[in-house]
Structure 1
Amino acid sequence: MIAEMAHLDVVVPPEIVDNETSGETTVEEGNSVTLTCKARGYPMPVVSWRREDNLKIVLRDQGNKKVTVTEGDQLRLTRVKRSDMGPYLCIAKNGIPPSVSKRIMLRVNFAPVLEVPVHMIGSPLGKEVTVRCKVESSPRAVATWRKEPGEQMIISSHKYNVTEYKEGFYVTQMSLTIRNFTLEDAITYRCVASNSLGATASSVQVYEIQPQKTRTSTKNDGDDSRLGNQIPLAASDHDKNDLDDFYNELDDPINNYLDPYHPGGILDNDRDREPLLKDPDIPKSPTGSKTFPYLNGGGGEGAVGIGSRWWWWAWVVVVVFWSVVLPGRVAF
């Protein structure tokens, strides 16, 4: 007789045991919670956890470690915060398709918290004005707008428009629009929110804005605006202007005193020459001669008038000394 032995393995895809797996779970903020997920199959499935919104899972008992995926039949969350709220996926795999998963919703309850972006807002009369309020709470809070004093609740009407927009699992955006704003509407409005864990409120002051008077522009205002619009000169431009002024000042005494009748000078015509000759300190010279104001002391006439200035005579003495006396002494 010839015989052979064979071993048969029957593989079973993973399956989550519902009666041993957590369902929707609620925990108060600050407490700890454990989510459980049991699976069976052959080979034995491996269970992993991840958030459905792909956010990080914070393992605060492991030094606030943040992970995308963690393995194990249980997921323990300590010191739970509202940011931990959301759906978690329990996924079971054993290499035999298909893999299976279960969605477990975690809710974190806390008292309402209000956030008002602007506590004072103004508006001109006759316009629309909108005030806003952000409410965070779990379970969802009952949020209303009220008028002070008297705490009269405001509902939507031809005068008011109340809107509510839910954002995320625990955030609600509240807004109140006041139509045809009047002086009677310039009061304080309160955003009030309450749930089973508490209540809170925050205020918004609405006031009137006076319209600005139209300013009539004047000639002076226009001149000022033109001056204000001028582009200031750069430092290099200022330096260039200073140099131009310096050379212009040098040209004036050269043209006016050294040779007032030099062609191209500023006194190049009879009209410009006349005021200079009328100066009582500058005597007229005979025809064909020139008078030099720098050299004329007031008493001479002719080609060059020599005045009585002491410095001029001093220069004459120096010239005579150098040209006559000194050569004679050296020759001797």
Structure 2
Amino acid sequence: MLIWAVLVIINGLAAATSPPQGGQSLLMPQNITEGTPVSLPCRLSGRINWFRGAKQIIGDPRRQMDRHGNLHFSYVDVSDTAVYKCSRASNSKVKLVNPVHLNVIKAAGKVKDAMPKLQYSSGTTHVTLGQDVTQQCIFSGRPVPVVTWYHDDNQITETARVKLSFTSVTIKNMSEEDTGTYRCIGKNTVTSNSHVVNLTLPVQPNAELSTTPAEQNDDTTAGKICIF
């Protein structure tokens, strides 16, 4: 029997409480006002997909999934009211977890535009020469921010090796020249906001040891709904 976790809002964040007794199944709606940015966590690993009801979500500029499988809304509309679940396919079976019932409430007045704010970044990534690597920045904001990327202050454009998506840049066959500082800028009609991520090579055996973790990221969505 599937037991839904009950979630309650505490200081703007959803926290899981103990499941109900007696084998009951409950899924409490999370009441969120339209125009609010929301991040939904997924506690699975591997190749993740998200479902809205029974329909798989296809990424668009307003709804983006980070590389840990968490789903981010730049802002929510009333039409986003639904039950959301993340999934991982394994041995021809699909495992659905983390059901969340979003109930988006219409705002009392006109929904105001909002400046871009960072929801997620891939942070500092250690890379190996020749591998493919993706760096990602997801911004909240209304209208949805457009993300542009810079490497050492030069704007990145698509090439045979470099691919751009709504929120990420993917570099194929990494070379030493590709390492360094990358800056993502989220911009909408209100203003712009920027964030810095880094691609670095691993420390050589005869070099000074580094205490930098293998991956640093600004993802704070693990285990909770984040309402920004």
Q: Same fold (TM over 0.5)?
A: no
Higher helix fraction: Structure 1 or Structure 2? Answer: 1
Higher strand fraction: Structure 1 or Structure 2? Answer: 2
Normalised by the length of structure 1, the TM-score is 0.30
Normalised by the length of structure 2, the TM-score is 0.43
| Greater C-alpha Rg | 1
